[in-house]
Structure 1
């Protein structure tokens, strides 16, 4: 009996390990920073935390990638997606302040201020795209987050190209682990 229990436990642990390796490989698919070269109409920047009303260092990395697209003439507009943060303003408003301070005209920024998660970021941004008649899209987020973002975009039939940002400020193992857990939740909810 003990031998059967031991074998069962070993098999379960082995399956869990293989499953974890699989999830880790999914969140690592976009580890190489992309180098976009095609013109698109708009970039959607997926929100992250504000610190004292300012974009966190990680959010600044996403914004800098979007700013580079804009300055290189690869996009004419940017959707800033993120609901209310802890600072009394939306993530989108914090991102707008950051980009306008760097010379992006406010008219070129579209704010989506209701989203509380990645699904809502893309779904609510899609409504803005339809209203503005925009179809050629880049999605800007961190590399570890891009797999799930692109999966959700595909489900929404939002044809988008990834602009994955490789972080210099985040502890990658923590965020990949967190994203792997988010993928488990995503698959449990969405099948």
Structure 2
């Protein structure tokens, strides 16, 4: 009997800890839920990658790319830095993003690839070099609204002054992605340099 009580107590404590994480971080991952399209012009936007499906942009990545198209078409930016490295088959997210944007009318000369990163932290760290090479002090940061807070934390840690351009998803189930992002913020807080 004491073993059952200990197991039950462990599950309750685990549940309380999980709920505490959600309560603490949920406002951060929801901060950009209603942000409007920016009004100012910048030289560039940094577009963070997402998953590829059969060497094509996933629905979520297409949402980010469509926001990049809007920024470009509305002359908010002249350049798009596309950040995303190789997946299992060697195709990079950045290359697939480039092909998609060219098909949507963005000229190749306006697209700059960062094609080594494997996660959000590397997206920002590796993109910093590109931004420095072009002397871009401030850029727009294009990613989903729930992901903006953590991406901006990594941007700041890498000396990037980024202005959020949150993408509001029509294809992602937000409770799942926000809960997952809360856990990623715990990892960022506890284990990142």
What is the aligned residue count? 188
C-alpha displacement at 1:152, in angstroms? 1.1
Equivalent positions of 1:30-45 (< 5 A) are 30-45=32-47
Higher mean C-alpha displacement, 146-155 vs 79-88:
79-88
Query: After TM superposition, what 4+ stretches of structure 1 lie above 6 angstroms from structure 2?
Result: 5-12
Say whether 1:175 aligns with 2:182.
no
Q: Is the 8 A contact 2:85 2:114 kept in 1?
A: yes
- What is the root-mean-square deviation in Å for CA atoms of aligned residues? 2.1
Equivalent positions of 1:1-191 (< 5 A) are 14=16, 16-190=18-192
TM-score (norm 1): 0.90
Structure 2 unaligned regions, length at least 5: none
C-alpha displacement at 1:13, in angstroms? 5.7
TM-score (norm 2): 0.89
Whole-Å separation in 2 of the counterparts to 1:108 and 1:145: 25
C-alpha displacement at 1:11, in angstroms? 7.9
Whole-Å separation in 1 of the counterparts to 2:11 and 2:57: 45
C-alpha displacement at 1:7, in angstroms? 10
Q: Is the 8 A contact 2:138 2:160 kept in 1?
A: no
